[in-house]
Amino acid sequence: MPDKKPISSVNDFVVRFANVNGSGSASANEMFARAILRHGVPVSPRNIFPSNIQGLPTWYEVRVTEAGHLGARGGVDMMVAMNPQTWDKDVAGIEPGGYLFYDSTKPMPSTKFRDDITVIGVPLTAITNSTYTDPRQRQLFKNIIYLGALSALLDMDPKLIEQLIGEQYKGKEKLLSSNVHALHLGRDWALQNLKCPIGLRVKKSDKVGDRIFIEGNSAAALGAVYGGATVCAWYPITPSSSVAEAFTAHCKKYRHDPETGKAKYAIVQGEDELASIGIVIGASWNGARAFTATSGPGISLMTEFIGLSYFAEIPAVIMNIQRAGPSTGMPTRTQQCDIIACAYASHGDTKHVLLFPEDPAEAFEFAAAAFDLADRLQTTIFLMLDLDIGMNHRLCRPLKWDDARQYDRGKIMTAEMLEEGRDFGRYLDVDGDGIPYRTYPGTHPTKGSYFTRGTSRDRYARYSEEGTVYADNMQRLVRKFETAQDLVPRPLQANAERPTKYGVIYFGSTSPAMDEAIGLLEARGHQLDRLRIRAFPFHSSVASFLAEHDFVYVVEQNRDSQLRQLIVNENGIDPVRLVPIVHYDGTPITARFIAKTIGDHQDHLKVTPLRKAVS
Amino acid sequence: MTYIAKPKFHHPGLKKNELGYTHRDYEGKISTLCAGCGHDSITASIIEACYELSIEPHRVAKISGIGCSSKTPDYFLGNSHGFNSVHGRMPSVLTGANLANRDLIYLGVSGDGDSASIGFGQFAHSIRRGVNMTYIVENNGVYGLTKGQFSATADRGSKSKKGVTNTDNAIDLVAIALQLGATFVARSFSGDKAQLVPLIAAAIRHKGASFIDVISPCIAFNNHAGSTKSFDYVREHNDAVNRLDVLVSRDPIAVDYAPGTVQVVEQHDGSKVALRKIDADYDPHDRLGAQTFLARHAAKGQIVTGLLYVDPDAEDLHEHLNTVETPLNTLEADTLCPGSAVLDKINASLR
């Protein structure tokens, strides 16, 4: 017996699987997460993987959370240690009173364990080897066997796992039955040889509701399909590649003409990020909805074109699935570190629209909206995801679409309008919103053509190096950016129960951890109003929020507090009133971290009156 | 300067093409290039070819990068949309434009700095993808706008105006285009309009990646003794393999050539290219033969011009991608959006 009381918890614990990448464990681990969902209990899984294909350590963490806290929690209650390479670190990472599950086929010296945890050995290799002869089968079924053993230990309903296996191998009878067999091999061994269940248990509940379980990248790609993207050009880069791959898969299903079989889309894998954004710019210039998906290094390469998009006013949608930078940085770790790089991308005076979805549901909505915004504003729209949202399955509300919705193509001057004698100046602000009309190439035999260029020109697109003409155009671009403020998703505010002079601003994937942290902070007696920023340029309500609070914490996942910099810069705010709360080690931010950091700050801010202290 | 307006009036008796357009309808703004620049002759040849083909001027999209050559799209086809994009990136912009609307004619204009140096990669990849376009490089072996630095097509041993000898090997874009699978490859000389106009016309009619390398002497920085891209040098070393006519169900384009053997190549769209062969052995359907021929003559210091290779049954990127006939830029929500019922099913599959 461990010298610390074993953790006892129903529907609220963290299981971490330590595997070797390339061992086929991912699908078994994902099935574990899905099986818990089928019990009606929310889960939040995360892949922690190296920039490598085979042989290096990888982890899969499942937070089981009846309360629905979908951020990373921190700490591990049960470690499924399947990787000898990382054994010591994995064992050390278990919470006191936690559980260690391991393959006990080969005896381990007692020094390899800890006294304050419960050690559960299952001879996985022995069971596997006595049942299977094929090495690949041994490898794959070993994963299902540990899944079976865990189902017994955690008191899970095996029928629900069988159901999942049935769905996965529908029509492949042989695979289906052999997987179910492997599941029961593990489960039966555990039931016969171990004390089941342990202190951690899964109990059926009804907290999942109609929510769906989807990766942000897939949802964003689906948003592009629904938003009418017809051209996608991309260059492979982690963690964004699965956006283009998902877009390809979705298009194959939903975008082929039923009669001719022909594709209502074009996807090109570019030779690099320069070509990818070039293709997007060319297609958008010609009136198609086009996008690329990339990550930090790709953004760096694309900046010259982004400047062209801003200055020549060509729509483009760039999905930036952020990872830890700078340079190659940590390609498989998450951060929100490209805020400044994207907001002001390119040389000269530029500003760009950024959208910050918090989860896959918003990734879908904002992706579709990005195409309307790009056409309306005739400029680049960044969809700022990150690895945490993009590459992990996240429980979120179902995706919704209004069938009455039409695409907003923005201000397009048609052949009819030109025939009517409408004055066409490509850079002429006729409505006072800074947005000019454009024509698609090939519109009219004698009217409406113009020359697009990155050089300065007048309101009628005629080349000009006159200072006043240049400044007139640059001022109009500022007006256009002001117009954007009211078109982009607005910030969402949630106030504390009692009036408070403290606020917190956050965005994107920090959302679930922040929501949970609020509860923890309240328990410590700290009241905070919250503002979730969903886009740049900032809506006027951001300035109001800042004005209403003495101190505002800005929580973000980068070193330099980039959103805070942007707020200070764009709103002319005294930086002292904005307290940076930064988390940037490449792991997703946790509620524990936020609550502790803000809580400690709050404690410092609470100055005890002198008289009271003396008396 | 491009802001100088060009008078629109013209002689009432000016010849009209099939669509009723005169030459003037294919012109653009007044050139701002140096007087005598080879590029202006190429501009004139593009105007002539488009007039002869009776192309609706607004159905052409003219796209370029940055440099002297890339400025020229402003000087022809004033009723076409033009796009002076980013240095070396014309091919990707053109590829995207082409994907958005397969019904327009795409004319890519670039230079040797734009295509052989900064944009070498994009040049290569647009060719290997088979983008349906006419890709013209106005090749003068020198950076004109920045005043006379060598470009990557300058021959080894050639001299700059300041007397510096180039020690780097030259890139032959024609040889590369052949190797990468361009389905129409030609070289010409800006001073030989009789050869160039029908080549441009045939390239426009060709469905697939057409590439024309046009040697175009830079009058300001690369037209001196010691240069291998000067008027004199190119005239002396030019070895034309053929001359051609383009027949578009009407009178062949009148060209000024010496009669020889004739070979007719029928293009995918039904138009015909009549090759007047100067070199009796030259076979423009033999890619490998063309590569060898080119290399052999280059070794002798000869510049081979003419239609070097053509595949009349070429496929383009749209065929590779199996895209719909309707231009993608005309599709709306009713055909692009799968709708809420499908989304409900997707939601159900994610539980």
Q: Do B336 and A228 touch (CB under 8 A)?
A: yes
Q: What is the pTM of this model?
A: 0.96
**Which residues make Cβ contacts (< 8 Å) with residue A399, sequence separation at least 6?**
A212, A219, A222, A361, A364, B343, B346, B347
pLDDT at A111: 92
Q: Are strands B261-266 and B272-277 parallel, antiparallel or unpaired?
A: antiparallel
The residue to which tokens 């996965």 are assigned: A168
Question: Who has greater pLDDT, B272 or A297?
Answer: A297
- Show the low-confidence residues of chain A (pLDDT under 50): none
Q: Give me the residue spans of the domains in chain B.
A: 23-325
Please indicate if any CB of chain A lies within 8 Å of the CB of B262: no
Q: Do A454 and B101 touch (CB under 8 A)?
A: no
Q: Could you tell me which CATH number the domain at A492-605 has?
A: 3.40.50.920
Please indicate if any CB of chain A lies within 8 Å of the CB of B324: yes
Q: Do A265 and B328 touch (CB under 8 A)?
A: yes
Looking at domain A9-201, its CATH superfamily turns out to be Pyruvate-ferredoxin oxidoreductase, PFOR, domain III (3.40.920.10)
Instruction: Label residue B23 by pLDDT band (50, 70, 90).
Output: very high
A255 interaction partners in chain B (CB closer than 8 Å): 336, 338
Classified by CATH at the fold level, domain B23-325 comes out as Rossmann fold (3.40.50)
The identity of residue B48, as a single letter, is E
Q: Do B324 and A444 touch (CB under 8 A)?
A: no
- The chain A residue lying nearest B329, using CA atoms, is A288
Site from B336, B344, B347 to mutate, A interface, most A CB atoms within 10 angstroms: B336
pLDDT at A614: 56
Q: Closest partner residue to B96 among A282, A446, A449, by Cβ?
A: A282
Q: Closest partner residue to B2 among A286, A440, A463, by Cβ?
A: A463
Q: Closest partner residue to A268 among B58, B95, B97, by Cβ?
A: B95
Q: Do A445 and B97 touch (CB under 8 A)?
A: no
Question: SS in 3 state form for A243-307?
Answer: HHHHHHHHHHHHCECCCCCCECCEEEECCCHHHHHHHHHHHHHCCCCEEEEECHHHHHHHHHHHH
Percent over 90 (pLDDT), chain B: 81
pLDDT at B268: 76
Question: SS in 3 state form for chain B?
Answer: CCCCCCCCCCCCCCCCCCCCCCHHHHECCCCCCCCCCHHHHHHHHHHHHHHHCCCCHHHEEEEECCCHHHHHHHHECCCCEEEECCCCCHHHHHHHHHHHCCCCEEEEEEEHHHHHHHCHHHHHHHHHHCCCEEEEEEECCEECCCCCEECCCCCCCCECCCCCECCCCCCCHHHHHHHCCCCEEEEEECCCHHHHHHHHHHHHHCCCEEEEEEECCECCCECCCCCCCCHHHHHHHEEECEEEEEECCCCCCCCCCCCCEEEEEECCCCCEEEEEECCCCCCCCCHHHHHHHHHHHHHCCCEEEEEEEECCCCCCHHHHHCECCCCHHHCCHHHHCCHHHHHHHHHHHCC
The identity of residue A383, as a single letter, is L
Interface contacts A/B by beta carbons within 8 Å: 235
Q: Do B83 and A266 touch (CB under 8 A)?
A: no
Q: Name the 3-class secondary structure at A462.
A: coil
Classified by CATH at the fold level, domain A214-396 comes out as Rossmann fold (3.40.50)
Instruction: Label residue B242 by pLDDT band (50, 70, 90).
Output: confident
Q: Is the ipTM of this complex over 0.85?
A: yes
A439 interaction partners in chain B (CB closer than 8 Å): 81
pLDDT at B269: 79
Q: Closest partner residue to B321 among A214, A263, A285, by Cβ?
A: A263
pLDDT tens digits, one per residue of A6-24: 999 999 999 999 998 888 8
Query: CA of B104 to nearest chain A CA: how many angstroms apart?
Result: 7
pLDDT at B255 over 80: no
pLDDT at B254 over 60: no
pLDDT at B253: 44
The burial class, CB within 10 Å (0-12 / 13-18 / 19+), for A42 is: buried
Q: Do A451 and B125 touch (CB under 8 A)?
A: no
pLDDT at B4 over 50: yes
Tokens, residue B257: 């050539």
**Region(s) of chain A under CATH 3.40.50.970:** 214-396
pLDDT at A477: 98
What is the tally of helices (H) and strands (E) in chain A? 20, 23
Contacts within 8 Å (CB) and 24+ apart, B32-36 = B32/B1, B32/B2, B32/B71, B33/B68, B33/B71, B33/B72, B33/B75, B34/B219, B34/B220, B35/B219, B36/B219
